[in-house]
């Protein structure tokens, strides 16, 4: 028995306008989708070139979910996105060259080479760096919301988790605490149907993860994660509800992880037909068509955006490769914070 | 100056910080209406309201993770574990998130976790532990273990001020048993600086927490026998005051490391290994360790007494060292 | 919105017979209820006499829930009851003198003085000793069920937790894992409305804890925990369902903790009227009346059972006090198990 | 005898135990269809079916707690953590339940938790740790850290046979890099007995895991300079083979304790403190420790290299000791 509300797709332009987006915003979203995918595609190339040490993860298939939610966040809101959520960093203003620098372990990446992959964020952009341990950032996101509630600020915190990580205790403790205190937090489940090689029925036995929201006293919503506008609309609703004191919402974005868990994984355990089926619903292609049908995106505009993104990313790769590897003299810097660090630029 | 119990000193210190700094709030199980299992926050909710004295659900990971998030948003959270033993349920949040966040992301996590710890009253295996050794191995954390009321008050202020996650171990056996003069005004005691609890010439005892008093009694006994014992109260184990320890040992040339936690891999090993390495040429005897044996803390009084280091054990150890 | 089924009270004798209980069984239940309360009342006296070190907890108000469930367990079933569940130990055959010996830290208690209170159990009776950390025994109970499932045995595991402990991650991980694998486990929530001083609305934001069962793909039931026969019937149903491969059930037993959290706590935070109201529903008195009304319990029988229990407990206290304190030479025995310990008498 | 990689040896050993004893089953994230993140259980599910090779939910407490329950019911569970780092999420189940159950209740908990650990390949702060020191402080647990394929196979059998909770640390950097002769038949290697990896006269190195090879290379270098190094591979840190260590140190009179984990409160402290105490009169130099500095494990290659003890660091340390 499903309990969560299943969100409708976004249809007309007028609906979008109601949600607060004008044509320029829509093109901005499109651009961010392209940057998001572009960053990860180029990361993949860098990886194959041996320029990225360690492992490498992408969020292919999840770009619309990430960008849609990032776009719905207010400037003062904060969030802790995960390894499939590059789009959130991009929307919030993380410059792609810094992402590449982080991938490559360079001194100018946000972690200065201390951590890799998307285990990074810039707090000045309102984002908190994820740890690997899933979903340890959910209680942290709830704690941000608690701070807002204590100070009576009209800010909202967002916490992400995968459907696999939904099985862990931190998910429960975070949602339960947020529910009892009706804290201004929105939980986003990136449900991409696989947790590494593990299918959903071995991670949970309910129809939708979002059905669990009722167990915590708030609303759950299931949304098609390839529909950037539907994701945006639902996130906006949930965020504004939280801002107004309406408490948490759990939004489940349904997608398919379009690649292996990480580059080394060929995802042999995912039926090929599933990939083919979801490839037809590619979130970027889908939105491009929507833009053509609904706001008359022109060939010229399309090309211009594509060229612009291409240039941005080429520049970014160049700049990142110019960044040096960290000097070993920095090895022990910042294991402990100094009092002065408390006054570092912050969100 | 007033004479306060160790518990009152913590309570006063914490209340003072909350009055002084609106960013400070406390959160934990039963800390509000009930005032905490040991009544450290008694009356706090009346004074500061339910959003600065937060009765949390029974969920240690949510409490500690919640503090981390609030700290990242500029608050100064102080969590209470009902007993230090239950911090095991927040181990991951402390070790994985709080401890490593500043190194990785450059974002300080100024949280304090208060941990009523230690045995001596038949609390059994789950209400008597001293988990500081486990955390003292985790870079990024600080571990504070005051022994006196004055240090307790000064260190709670320092812990709250500190830009890092600080675990504040308060020994339950000292709560109401130990009284001392505590300045009325606000002050801080630096984290990482030992206190010379007693001056002496023949043997140094390096210890902290309730064992400071066990060592003191043993030293009193030995004084009659003409053995002069110096007691260094570390006050914090991470960081720990290596210079003060080495100075004392270089003076006495003999060292006993004493703790209430179990032996193997206890933090005493770190101190003993360091002394043995860095004061090698100054030692006239091997560095001895006295600690609890490797077992859970037993409940029944005779077993617990046999488990926790007693004055006689320490006296015997000191005597053997003095005679070495 | 409540989702769990709310169980009806048990009415007539015929209903009880359907559930498999004859008159003798019913008198046995009554006797066990009296023993359960008697053990804890006498424990309280021993505590006041200074004979019990440490702290002291009782399950006053929860006797029917504990005895009802213990009675529904099959001989080969196992469980991990908690600090309010003395009745389960009693039903499974734990001799009261051993409980007193454990309270007093004597050598002949089940833990030989290593642990106190009800932090004890006898594995030969199919019970697993609880740890303090709540609800760490739930994953363990699920693991028992996993063993039964792997070996295709028709056995069921039971795991207890309080409504306060429902907030912790272990509750979630245990139920979720059990749900995905449809393991033969029954979860029992002792909902006594307070977790130490914390009221339910600060522990969870759903109407009933049992409502959460749906989030794990199984059934939830709320039952009046002062109605020993209703508890028995629901537990029996759930246990037999699990035995037949029907997967887990979550049973929530509603009671009020009729004393403080432990002896030192006067429960000032619980409204007096609540105590008065629930005192009227005292589970033992309630069942006594039921027995008089439905199976003609006579004054003579009542007196006989009471006298028998009184004698049993007096003997038990005497025997427990005869048990020595543990010898300190045993301090380090059994920190590690020897291979031979694997062959110790087991359930 | 066949030449196997370290990984194959673990895999073969585990498969052998499963064939031999129906009570043995494995559980973990992605251990079934995928064969485990490192493919240690590749092909196991085909052979043993989905109820003896269990793909668990992403829930470490449920995995470890589940193993405890199954063990209490007579099974012999072997859990896999996907990376040893994630065992932090099962800390409470191991330390609170599994470790203390036999002492308290007399019920053995024969579980094995496999922990792919260690750094050296830019795994970063959460895929490179060596958590054995934290667990080696917990009475009731055993911690095994094989360095060779032959020991890996023999110790996995011993771990499964053992009536106690055993943490089996497998160093990822050895998985495919280290090969060695492994007997075809079943055998066990006793837990708690060290292995003399190399005989020598001038300095003893006490180490385990991947550092055995680092020490070896350093010893090779020093051989040319006329310094003879003895290497004791502990093979398990809880219990650890104190007699073997003391014997070696009494022979060489100089000791270096080496581990990949961070310094302060690392298990090297226990070993160094013990040597310094019990072999005090035999030492011709202070016991040195070489270990990682107190920081999270950094991701970027130059930082990681500076972090993990390297052959040159060890060679330098040995030389200084030899010349002391
Ligand atoms: C606590 C913990 N255990 C194990 C892992 C290893 N791990 C990394 S990603 C992953 C699968 C995560 O699945 P899901 O939550 O669905 O997120 P997805 O990767 O599919 O986006 C696992 C098991 C981890 N990161 N954290
Ligand atoms: C993990 C953990 N944290 C804290 C405690 C301390 N503690 C003991 S009982 C209790 C309240 C438990 O409430 P509930 O689960 O409702 O059970 P009840 O005692 O009401 O039966 C608390 C907080 C504990 N035992 N375990
Ligand atoms: Mg997934
Ligand atoms: Mg309760």
> Is C21 within 8 Å of chain D by CB?
no
pLDDT of the residue at C256: 98
Name the nearest CA neighbour of C103 among C54, C62, C61, C38.
C54
- Which positions in chain C touch D104 (Cβ < 8 Å)? 111, 114-115, 119-120, 129, 131
Type and span of the H or E element at D20? helix D6-20
**CA B92 to ligand 1: nearest atom:** 1
* Average pLDDT of span C148-158: 98
Tokens for B242, please give them. Answer: 């290596």
Task: Give the mean pLDDT of chain B.
Answer: 98
Q: Per-residue pLDDT averaged across C228-245, rounded?
A: 97
Task: Give the nearest ligand 1 atom to A195 CA.
Answer: 13
Q: Determine whether the shortest distance from the Cβ of A326 to ligand 1 is under 6 A.
A: no
Six token digits for residue D174: 């050895």
pLDDT at position C1 is: 47
Query: Are A128 and B67 an interchain contact pair (Cβ–Cβ within 8 Å)?
Result: no
Please write the tens of the pLDDT for every residue from B81-128. 999 999 999 999 999 999 999 999 999 999 999 999 999 999 999 999
Whether C84 is in the pocket of ligand 2, judged by its Cβ within 6 Å, is yes
Range of the domain at A269: 5-323
The percentage of chain C sitting over the pLDDT mark of 90, rounded to a whole number, equals 94
Single out the residue of C47, C68, C49 nearest to residue C254, CA to CA. C68
Question: Which of D56, D73, D161 has its CB closest to that of C148?
Answer: D73
- C10 part of contact set with chain D, CB < 8 Å: no
Residue A238: how many other CB atoms lie within 10 Å: 27
- pLDDT, mean over chain C: 96
Whether ligand 1 lies within 6 angstroms of the CB of A195 is answered as: yes
pLDDT digits (tens, 9 = 90+) for B171-228: 999 999 999 999 999 999 999 999 999 999 999 999 999 999 999 999 999 999 999 9
Q: How much is the pLDDT for A20?
A: 85
* Cβ-Cβ contacts under 8 Å for C165 (sequence gap 6 or more): B58, C134, C135, C171, C195
Q: Is the pLDDT reported for residue A346 higher than 80? A: no
- Structure confidence at residue A257 as a pLDDT band (50, 70, 90): very high
Measured from the alpha carbon of residue C193, the closest ligand is: 4
- Determine whether the interchain pair A105/D299 forms a contact, defined as Cβ–Cβ distance below 8 Å: yes
Ligand 2 atom 21 nearest Cα: C162
How many whole angstroms separate alpha carbon C63 and alpha carbon C43?
A: 15
B64 touching chain A per CB within 8 A = yes
Q: What is the pTM of this model?
A: 0.98
pLDDT tens digits along D226-244: 999 999 999 999 999 999 9
Write out pLDDT tens, residues A46-62.
999 999 999 999 999 99
Number of A–C residue contacts, CB under 8 Å = 83
For range C194-217, the mean pLDDT: 98
CB contact under 8 A, B97 and A111: no
A173 touches chain C (CB under 8 A): yes
The Å distance, Cα B57 to ligand 2 centre, comes to 10
Q: Are A147 and B76 in contact (CB under 8 A)?
A: no
Residue of C190, C326, C333 to mutate when probing chain B, most B C-beta within 10 A: C326
**Among partner residues A1, A169, A216, which is closest to C205 by beta-carbon distance?**
A216
Q: Is residue A332 part of a domain?
A: no
- Is residue A331 one of the residues assigned to a domain? no
Query: Does residue C232 surpass a pLDDT of 50?
Result: yes
Please name the chains neighbouring B, where neighbouring means 3+ C-beta pairs under 8 angstroms. Answer: A, C, D
CB contact under 8 A, B73 and A144: yes
Neighbours of D73 (CB within 10 A): 25
| A5-14, B268-277, D191-200: segment of lowest average pLDDT | A5-14
Chain C residues within 8 A of A187 when measuring between CB atoms:
none
Radius of gyration of chain D (CA): 19
Mean pLDDT of B132-138: 97
What pLDDT shows up at residue D283? 97
- Looking at the complex, report in whole angstroms how far the Cα of residue D100 sits from the nearest Cα belonging to chain C: 7
CB B29 near ligand 2, within 6 Å: yes
Please tell me the predicted confidence (pLDDT) of residue D287.
98
Confidence (pLDDT) at A254: 98
Say how many Å lie between the CA of residue B136 and the centre of ligand 4: 34
In a domain, A182, yes or no: yes
Instruction: Please indicate if any CB of chain C lies within 8 Å of the CB of D108.
Output: yes
CATH number at residue C269: 3.40.50.970
Name residues 255-314 of chain D within 8 A of A (Cβ). Answer: 293-296, 298-303, 305-307
Catalytic machinery residues of B: 127
With a CB-CB cutoff of 8 Å, which residues 148-167 of chain C face chain A?
166-167
Residue D36 pLDDT greater than 50, yes or no: yes
Task: Let me know if residue A335 belongs to a domain.
Answer: no
pLDDT band at C17; cut points 50, 70, 90: confident
The mean predicted confidence, pLDDT, of chain D is 98
Q: Is C197 in the pocket of ligand 2 (CB under 6 A)?
A: no
**Confidence at B21, pLDDT banded by 50, 70, 90:** very high
The single residue listed with the structure tokens 């609303």 is A219
Q: Closest partner residue to A196 among D34, D59, D62, by Cβ?
A: D34
Band (pLDDT 50/70/90 cuts) for residue A202 is very high
A339 belongs to a structural domain: no
| CA-atom Rg of chain B in angstroms | 19
Q: Do residues B230 and B205 make contact, with C-beta atoms less than 8 angstroms apart?
A: yes
Burial of residue B15 (CB within 10 Å: 0-12, 13-18, 19+) is buried
Element (H, E) at C173: helix C169-181
C-alpha C200 – ligand 2 centre gap (Å):
12
Reading the block at residue B296, the tokens are: 């859970």
Min CA distance, A104 vs chain C (Å)?
36
In this predicted structure, the answer to whether residue C335 has a pLDDT above a threshold of 70 is yes
Q: Is residue C56 part of a domain?
A: yes
Return the ligand 1 atom nearest residue A57 CA: 19
Split at pLDDT 50, 70, 90, the class of C16 is confident
Asked if residue A330 is part of any domain, the answer here is: no
| Atom number, ligand 2, closest to the C-alpha of residue C196 | 11
Residue C203 located in a structural domain = yes
Q: Do the Cβ atoms of C116 and C105 come closer than 8 Å?
A: yes
The pLDDT-based confidence of A17 (bands split at 50, 70, 90) is confident
Per-residue pLDDT reduced to its tens digit, D154-208? 999 999 999 999 999 999 999 999 999 999 999 999 999 999 999 999 999 999 9
Residue that has been written with the tokens 């759950």 in this structure: A220
pLDDT in tens, D283-322: 999 999 999 999 999 999 999 999 999 999 999 999 999 9
pLDDT of residue B25: 98
Q: Are strands B112-117 and B76-80 parallel, antiparallel or unpaired?
A: parallel
Nearest-5° angle of CA B7, CA B9, CA B13?
Answer: 120
Q: Which of A81, A98, A47 is nearest to A259 (CA)?
A: A47
User: C2 pLDDT exceeds 70?
Assistant: no
D256: region left, alpha or beta (phi > 0 left; psi from -120 to 50 alpha): beta
Does ligand 1 lie within 6 Å of residue A165's CB atom? yes
Is the model's pLDDT at A1 over the cut of 50? no
Report ipTM for this prediction: 0.98
* Nearest CB to A334; choose among B56, B62, B103: B103
Using the predicted structure, report yes or no on whether residue C300 has a pLDDT greater than 90. Answer: yes
The reply to whether ligand 2 has any atom less than 6 angstroms from the CB of B61 is: no
CB count within 10 Å of CB C105 equals 29
Q: How many domains does chain A have?
A: 1
Distance from the A52 Cα atom to the nearest Cα atom in chain C, whole angstroms: 35
**Pocket flag, ligand 2, residue B86 (CB < 6 Å):** yes
């Amino acid at each position: 028995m499903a309990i969560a509300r299943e969100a409708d797709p976004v249809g007309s332009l007028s609906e979008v306008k109601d949600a607060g987006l004008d044509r320029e915003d829509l093109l901005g979203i499109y651009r961010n989708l392209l940057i998001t995918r572009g960053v990860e595609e180029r990361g993949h190339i860098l990886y194959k070139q041996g320029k990225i040490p360690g492992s490498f993860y992408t969020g292919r298939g999840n770009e619309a979910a990430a960008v849609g939610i990032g776009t719905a966040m207010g400037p003062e809101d904060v969030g802790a996105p995960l390894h499939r959520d590059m789009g959130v960093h991009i929307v919030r203003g993380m410059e792609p060259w810094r992402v590449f620098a982080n991938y490559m372990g360079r001194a100018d990446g946000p972690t200065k080479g201390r951590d890799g992959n998307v285990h990074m964020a810039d707090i000045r952009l309102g984002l908190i760096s994820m740890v690997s341990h899933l979903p340890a950032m959910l209680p942290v996101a709830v704690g941000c919301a608690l701070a807002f509630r204590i100070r009576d600020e009209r800010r909202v915190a967002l916490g992400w988790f995968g459907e696999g990580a939904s099985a862990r205790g931190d998910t429960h403790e975070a949602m339960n605490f947020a529910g009892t205190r009706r804290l201004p937090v929105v939980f986003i489940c990136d449900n991409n149907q696989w947790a590494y090689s593990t299918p959903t029925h071995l991670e949970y036995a309910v129809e939708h993860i979002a059905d669990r929201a009722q167990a915590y006293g708030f609303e759950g919503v299931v949304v098609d994660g390839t529909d950037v506008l539907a994701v945006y609309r639902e996130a906006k609703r949930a965020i504004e509800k939280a801002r107004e004191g309406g408490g948490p919402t759990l939004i489940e974005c349904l997608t398919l992880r379009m690649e292996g868990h990480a580059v080394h994984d060929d995802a042999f355990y995912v039926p090929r037909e599933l990939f083919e089926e979801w490839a037809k619903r590619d979130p970027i292609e889908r939105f491009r068509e929507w833009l053509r049908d609904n706001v008359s995106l022109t060939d010229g505009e399309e090309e211009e955006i594509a060229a612009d993104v291409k240039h941005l990313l080429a520049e970014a790769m160049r700049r990142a490769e110019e960044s040096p590897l960290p000097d070993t003299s920095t090895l022990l810097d910042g294991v402990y914070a100094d009092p002065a660090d408390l006054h570092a630029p912050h969100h | 100056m007033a004479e306060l119990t160790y518990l009152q000193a913590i309570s006063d210190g914490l209340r003072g910080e909350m009055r002084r700094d609106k960013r400070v709030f406390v959160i934990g199980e039963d800390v509000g209406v009930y005032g905490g299992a040991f009544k450290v926050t008694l009356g706090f909710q009346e004074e500061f309201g339910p959003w600065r004295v937060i009765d949390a659900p029974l969920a240690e990971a949510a409490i500690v993770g919640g503090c981390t998030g609030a700290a990242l948003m500029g608050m100064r959270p102080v969590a209470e574990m009902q007993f230090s033993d239950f911090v095991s349920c927040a181990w991951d949040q402390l070790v994985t998130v709080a401890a490593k966040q500043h190194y990785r992301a450059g974002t300080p996590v100024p949280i304090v976790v208060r941990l009523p710890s230690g045995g001596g009253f038949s609390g059994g295996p789950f209400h008597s532990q001293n988990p500081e050794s486990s955390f003292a191995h985790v870079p990024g954390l600080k571990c504070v273990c005051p022994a006196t009321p004055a240090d307790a008050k000064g260190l709670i202020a320092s812990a709250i001020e500190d830009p890092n996650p600080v675990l504040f171990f308060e020994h339950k056996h000292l709560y109401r048993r130990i009284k001392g003069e505590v300045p009325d005004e606000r002050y801080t005691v630096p984290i990482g600086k030992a206190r010379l609890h007693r001056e002496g010439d023949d043997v140094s005892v390096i210890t902290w927490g309730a064992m400071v008093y066990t060592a003191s009694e043993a030293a009193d006994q030995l004084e009659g026998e003409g053995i002069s014992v110096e007691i260094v109260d570390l006050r914090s184990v991470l960081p720990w005051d290596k210079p003060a320890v080495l100075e004392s040992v270089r003076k006495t040339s003999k060292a006993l490391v004493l703790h209430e936690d179990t032996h193997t891999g206890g933090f005493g090993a770190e101190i003993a290994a360091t002394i043995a390495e860095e004061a090698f040429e100054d030692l006239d005897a091997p560095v001895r360790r006295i600690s609890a044996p490797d077992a859970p803390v037993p409940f029944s009084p005779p077993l617990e007494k046999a488990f926790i280091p007693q004055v006689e054990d320490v006296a015997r150890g000191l005597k053997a060292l003095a005679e070495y």
